[in-house]
Amino acid sequence: MNTLSKAFGKKFEQNKDLVRIRSFEFGGHNFRVKVPLTSEYEAMMVQVNQPDEEKIAKYYNELTKTFFENKKTLDPKLGVVFTEDDVELQGRSLKQTAKTKVITENQITAMVQMLVPEEKDFDMSTITYEMVEELFPFSVQMELLQKISEVISPSYKETKGK
């Protein structure tokens, strides 16, 4: 118990995590989110932005397979350029696209893991992106990500009620 929490008493100390829980309605369901401490959020962002290189390579290979198979017959109008270690499509790196996909999946997973489960014994840290993807289409994942973000970090407009 730190000095500030002592000032609020023992009952606060017992219930301090409840102060950090916010809720929102989405698709007819009431979701609850535990707002992370700054240190928890920063650690999460470090983890999100350090994507798994094997997963990047897997996605990159999936994205480029057809280009490599048809390298000799590709129409130049498509704008496919083979560099030493990448394939660019109309000036965009497919290696960077694969990396962005992994970072996005990491972010979605991390945000979903902040949800408070209704089942008391369920460990949200065991959630994987594959579980999220199986349950929600990508457009719903992005909306859910936005809702969670709004709850954990409301904008100035929302906090002032304007």
Task: Find the helix packing angle between 138-152 and 94-113, rounded to 10°.
Answer: 60
Q: What does the domain layout of the chain look like in residue ranges? A: 21-142
How far is 9 from 42, CA to CA, in rounded Å? 29
Tell me what pLDDT residue 145 has. Answer: 95
CB atoms within 10 A of CB 110: 20
Placement of tokens 């999220």 in the chain: 132
Angle of the 38-48 helix axis to the 94-113 helix axis, nearest 10: 150
Give the CB-side neighbour count of residue 40, counting CA atoms within 13 A: 10
What is the per-residue burial (b if ≥16 Cβ within 10 Å, else e) of 16-42? eeeeeebeeeeeeeebebbbbeeeeee
Task: List pLDDT tens digits, range 129-158.
Answer: 999 999 999 999 999 999 999 999 876 455
Tell whether the torsion through CA atoms of 154, 155, 158 and 159 is positive or negative.
Answer: positive
Strand partners, 32: 23
Q: In the predicted model, is pLDDT for residue 160 greater than 80?
A: no
- pLDDT at residue 82 in the model: 92
Q: Report in angstroms the alpha-carbon separations of 117 from 23, 32, 120, 123, 125.
A: 12, 8, 7, 8, 11
Predicted pLDDT of residue 161 = 55
- Residue 116 CA to residue 61 CA, distance in Å, equals 36
The model's pLDDT over 78-121, given as tens digits with 9 standing for 90+, comes to 889 999 999 999 999 999 999 999 999 999 999 999 999 999 89
